[in-house]
Amino acid sequence: MNVINLSEQNSVLNQYIAEIRDQVIQKDSMRFRKNLQRIGEFFGIEISKTLKFNSIDVQTPLGIAHTSTYDNNIVIASVLRAGIPMHEGLLHIFDRAQNAFIASYRKYGKDNKFTIQVEYASSPSIEGKTLILADTMLATGSSLVLAYNKLCENGKPAHTHIVSTIASIDGVEYLKKHIHDQNVTLWVAAVDVELTNKSYIVPGLGDAGDLAYGSKL
């Protein structure tokens, strides 16, 4: 698995990450969602540089323009709820893409330990296509591995791009260990070093789903 950390090079992405982390700015849920959407767009542009392009001629009102466009069949998948704004940003870039959605949750036991349960999955065939799987946070990595495996029940993608705004070191290593397909690229915007005993990333940003869409029961 190839891992690309976009924070290793300074860009406007740093501003978006700083704002979603900021405990004052992140209280504006509309701005929080918008920043995640912008981050999704940023990832989309970077991913587009890896796609297959073909030369085409375009008829303008004044002549012929020579250019190149990508011809990959793309499926954008996201993990609900927190992945939705990033999904929208990616869809702004790849507006002809098909879409898939995965709903998973943490099921806690009496000892306060949890397992990840996949509750819902809706996906077209991904056989031979380019799969972009988005989730805002990569904490333990278990939910993304489950989502990836669930999607692969609908075919084997030609290449998978896993996109996460903030990852933990443990989460990155978990994905490397449990996703064996070599045609997988992990894109992150920041990597944090610590996980709490409840598997929240530190410094992280808090609960991305709650910040975007409100607290849940």
Q: Is the pLDDT of residue 105 over 70?
A: no
Confidence of residue 199 (pLDDT cuts 50, 70, 90): confident
Q: Is the pLDDT of residue 104 over 90?
A: no
DSSP-derived pairing of the beta strands 2-5 and 53-60: unpaired
The predicted pLDDT at position 216 comes to 77
pLDDT in tens, 34-91: 999 999 999 999 999 999 999 999 999 999 999 999 999 999 999 988 899 999 999 9
The predicted pLDDT at position 87 comes to 97
Q: Is the pLDDT of residue 103 over 90?
A: no
**Virtual CA dihedral for 47, 49, 53, 59, nearest 10 degrees?**
100
Whether the CA torsion 89, 23, 5, 142 is positive or negative: it is negative
**Virtual CA dihedral for 37, 132, 51, 8, nearest 10 degrees?**
60
The predicted pLDDT at position 25 comes to 97
Rounded Cα distance between 94 and 76, Å, is 9
The predicted pLDDT at position 49 comes to 97
- Percent of the chain past pLDDT 90, that is, above it, reads 83
What is the architecture, at CATH level 2, of domain 2-53+68-213?
A: 3-Layer(aba) Sandwich (3.40)
Rounded Cα distance between 3 and 14, Å, is 18
The predicted pLDDT at position 106 comes to 63
The predicted pLDDT at position 179 comes to 96
Element (H, E) at 64: strand 63-70
Longest dimension (CA), the chain: 71
Full-model pTM: 0.92
3 state SS of 206: coil
The predicted pLDDT at position 113 comes to 65
The predicted pLDDT at position 107 comes to 63
CA angle 123/109/135 to nearest 5° reads 30
The predicted pLDDT at position 197 comes to 84
The residues facing 70 across adjacent strands are: 53
Domain boundaries, the chain: 2-53+68-213
**Average confidence (pLDDT) over 17-26:** 98
Whether the CA torsion 186, 187, 190, 196 is positive or negative: it is negative
Q: Is the pLDDT of residue 205 over 90?
A: yes
